[in-house]
Structure 1
Amino acid sequence: MSRIRVVPIFVTALLMLALLIGGWQAYQHYNLLNPLKRSLQSVAGVEQVDITTGSPDVVVVQLGPFQALKEGDLQMTYDAISDEIEQKLGTNVSVRLGDAHEGPLTQIFESVFELYIQQGIAKEDYTQMASEVARLAKSYHLAYRLTMDNNDIYLQLQKGPYYLYRVIPYARAGGAAS
C-alpha cells in the first residue's frame, strides 16, 4: 500500500489557491476596475474615482463645481455615473459623491435644508419642499438647484468656491422603498 504524502499535497493546493486568487485579482483590476475608472472619468464633472471592492462594492466619485457637471446638473451627471457602474459592476454597488463642502455648506445643509427635505418627503409635499429650499437658498445667498426623479432628490448648493451635492432617496407612494 502506498503512502500518501500530505505535505506536498498541502503545498500544491496552497500554491494553486494563491494562483487562482492572484488571477482573479488581476482580472478584476485590469478588465473591470480600470476600464470603469476610465469611463467614469470621461463623464462631465467627474474629477477623481476610487473603487473599493467588497460586499457591496463602493465607488467614490469626486465631482467638480456646478459648471463642470453635465449641463450643470447633478441629476444628469449622477445618472451617467450610475449607468456606467451598473453596466460594469451590476446593481450591488454603493455610490458616494465627493464635493468641496469644507466650508459652511455641510452645517447649513444638516441644520436647515435636510429638515425641510425630510419633511417634504414625509408629507409627500414636494412643491412646498421646493419652495422652502428656494427660500432658504436665497436667505443664505447660495446658488442652488433641486431636481427629482422617480427614486431620488438631487440637491446642489454652492457658495463661493464651496459646493455640496446630495442625492437623497425617498419612499414612493404605497410604501415601496426606492
Structure 2
Amino acid sequence: MKLRILPIATTAVISAALLFGGWFAYRHYGVEQPLDRAAANVPGVESASSDMNADGVTIKVKLSDTADLADVYRTVKEEGARAIGSKSLTLVAENPDNEALEKVWRSALFDVAQAMDRKEYTAIRDAMAKLQSQTPGLSASTEIDEENVYISLRLSGSAKYVILPRQGEQMGVWPNA
C-alpha cells in the first residue's frame, strides 16, 4: 500500500484549520462578545473589552466618574455567567491619569495594604474616611463582597477605582527550598 503524501497533508491542514478556527470563533463570538455587550450595558461603563485565557476571563472597563464599581462587577458576573462558566472573572477598571488622585491614593496605600494583610476590612473604611477629612472635595466610598473590596475615589470630576481581591495569591513551594 502506497501512501500519498499530498492528500494526507492537505487533509491534516484542513482539519487543523477547521478545529482551531472553530475554537477561536467560539471564543470570540460565544464568550468575548457577549461579555463585552453585557459589560457595556451596565450603567457607568463607557467601554469594555474582554480577553479569555486558560486561567480565566479578564474584562477591561472604562468607567465614568459616577459608576458604582461593585455594581458593575456584580452585574457583569451575573449577566456573563453563561459565557464565563467555571472560569474566574477579573475586572480591570482603567482610569485616566489624575496626579492629584494618585497622590491621595498613595498616601492611603500603606493603611489599606496593612488592613488587607490583616483582614481588618473596617480599617479600609476608616482610612478612606480619614482621607476624605484630609482632602477637601474628595469623595471616597468602599464596598465589600465575598470576593473583593471595592474602593472608589472621586475628586473634581475625576475618579479612581481600585479592586482588591480578598483572597490573596497563595504562595507555592519554592523551587530552591
Q: TM-score range by the shorter chain?
A: 0.7 to 0.9
Q: Which runs of 5+ in 1 are unaligned?
A: none
Amino acid at match of 1:146: T
Q: Distance in 2 between matches of 1:127 and 1:9?
A: 66
- Quickly say closer, same or farther: Cα 1:82–1:107, change in 2 above 3 A: farther
Residues 108/42 of structure 1: CA separation in 2 closer, same or farther (3 Å cut)? same
Q: Would the alpha carbon gap of residues 4 and 25 (structure 1) be closer, same or farther in structure 2, given more than 3 Å must change?
A: same
> Per-residue CA shift, 1:126-177, capped at 9, x if unaligned?
33432222111221221111122233211100111221011112259xxx9x
Contact kept, 8 Å, 1:102 with 1:162, in 2: the verdict is: yes
Q: How many residues align?
A: 166
Structure 1 distance, partners of 2:18, 2:38, is 29
Structure 2 CA distance for partners of 1:101 and 1:87, relative to 1, 3 Å:
farther
1:118 is the counterpart of 2:109: no
What amino acid maps onto 1:64 in structure 2?
Answer: S
Name the % identity: 25
Change (3 A) 1:40 1:127: closer
- Alignment match, 2:96: 100
Which residue is equivalent to 2:9? 10
- Structure 2, unmatched stretches of 5+, are 171-177
1:63 maps onto 2:59 in alignment: no
CA contact (8 A) 1:49 1:61 kept: yes
Partner AA of 1:92 in structure 2: S
Match of 2:71 among 64, 76, 86: 76
CA distance, structure 2, for counterparts of residue 17 and residue 127 of structure 1: 54
Rate the CA distance shift 1:151–1:38 in 2: closer, same or farther, 3 A.
closer
TM-score normalised according to structure 1 size: 0.80
Aligned to 2:31: 32
1:161 aligns with 2:173: no
2:167 and 2:15 map into 1 onto residues whose CA distance is: 48
Report the counterpart of residue 148 of structure 2 in structure 1: 152
Cα RMSD for the two superposed structures:
2.3
Q: Does 1:127 align with 2:127?
A: no
